[in-house]
A and B are shown apart, each in its own frame.
Chain A
Amino acid sequence: MFHNLIQLYRFTVQTAFTCLLLAAPIFGNAETINTNHKTSQISFAGEHAGMPFSGKFRSWQAQLILPPSNTPKIEASIDLRSAKTGDRTYDETLTEGDWFDVKNTPKGQFVSQDIQLTEKGYLVKGELTLRGITQTLEFALTHTSKGLTGQLKIDRLAFDIGKDSDPDAEWVSRYITLNLHITR
């Protein structure tokens, strides 16, 4: 009886170890996250006429291959037509030629191959393309219980967004905050 119990114990421990060993590559190696608007969120916020507004992209997808992978990479593609603030006037204006110009450039792209491990997550340096204009950006991604979060500020005028309508940022704030909530 006693002997049987010890055997059962051994068997259990051995099985558990084997499982762990098999799973090691998944946990220990590079982390790859494939995500999109269904589980994660890319939202934006700014001010118009002194009134705060915010919205989110309802359609996008991204792949993140994170260090310690030797070839880390983040690639994201955002459907700019899917930007929604809940205000019809804003939403329609956003798609126009002077803003996202979705007729000519329906997608925004982000690509990075420079991702450093940091204490709390990663430091990402990459290139964002909107309206056919590419700018280099740097931001931190921080671990959370559910995944990763990050925040970055975008200078809309660097992408010629609203350049004709509001070049002095008299109405729409020049810097737009992007909030990233990536769920694993």
Chain B
Amino acid sequence: MMNKTTKATFSSSAEEQLSTPQRYHSLAIMLHWLIALGIVFMFASGTYMLYGDLSKAEQYKLFQIHKSAGVLILLSVVARVATRIFTHPPALPSGLSGRDKRLSKLGHLGLYACLIVMPISGWVMVSASPFGLPTIVFGWFEWPHIPGISRNKPIETLARTIHWTTASVFLSLIILHLGAVIKHQYFEKINLIKRMWW
């Protein structure tokens, strides 16, 4: 009898959590903010290493850091996508209009796409570069080049164009992403942050 009750209570609370969680999975939250920080660093380092007033030595070192950090982000993104597939995200707040719900789904999809395309295009660029410099992640382990495209100028150029173009799209999406959170907070009094915080 007692056993039965315990079981029932447990399963109902578990079900409740499965169907209507209030926030993203703890792992998803952690990865979201970790990657967010990483992306800020990638934009800063990527831009500075190309357009900053740096000596050749500093430029070379920053390139290696950008590559190393990018590889770690790629690995985090893989973990993030896996988390997204294997956990249940909270349902979108009922206060959102149907249009906003569709837009947010589209926006998140775009952000995921950028998260994948950025590091992959960087990886392709580095693998196809005529320099053939290896990527040694923070002097820690070697990240291999993609085989079959070494010293391939056309592929390198294509990857560079994709890296740059995606970076611009990504930046626009990030601005929209932040803008949406602020808009819903101030105009509709919907607190979205707590869905992505513990």
Contact = CB atoms under 8 A, between A and B. Distances in A.
A96 interface: yes
Contact of A89 (B130, B133, B151): B133
A40 B55 CA distance: 37
Contact of B131 (A51, A88, A165): A165
Interface residues of B, number: 15
Interface string A102-143: 000000000000000000000000000000000000000000
Nearest to B60: A49
Contact of B136 (A88, A97, A166, A171): A88
Given A50-B55, A171-B56, A93 B133 contact: yes
Interface string B145-169: 0000001000000000000000000
B64 interface: yes
B130 A88 contact: no
Contacts of B136: 88-89
A155 interface: no
Contacts of B64: 89
A92 interface: yes
Given A50-B56, A50-B57, A164 B130 contact: yes
Q: Chain A interface secondary structure, helix, strand, loop or mixed?
A: loop
Contacts of B131: 93, 165-166, 171
A49 B59 CA distance: 8
B133 A49 contact: no
A51 B136 CA distance: 19
Interface residues of A, number: 15
A168 to B, nearest CB: 13
Contact of A98 (B56, B57, B132, B139): B132
Interface in A8-62: 48-51
A165 B132 CA distance: 8
Given A88-B139, A98-B151, A164-B151, A93 B132 contact: yes
- The 7 A-B residue pairs whose C-beta atoms are closest, nearest first, are A49-B56, A49-B60, A49-B57, A51-B57, A92-B134, A50-B56, A50-B57
Interface of B: 55-57, 59-60, 64, 130-134, 136, 139, 142, 151
Interface of A: 48-51, 88-89, 92-93, 96-98, 164-166, 171
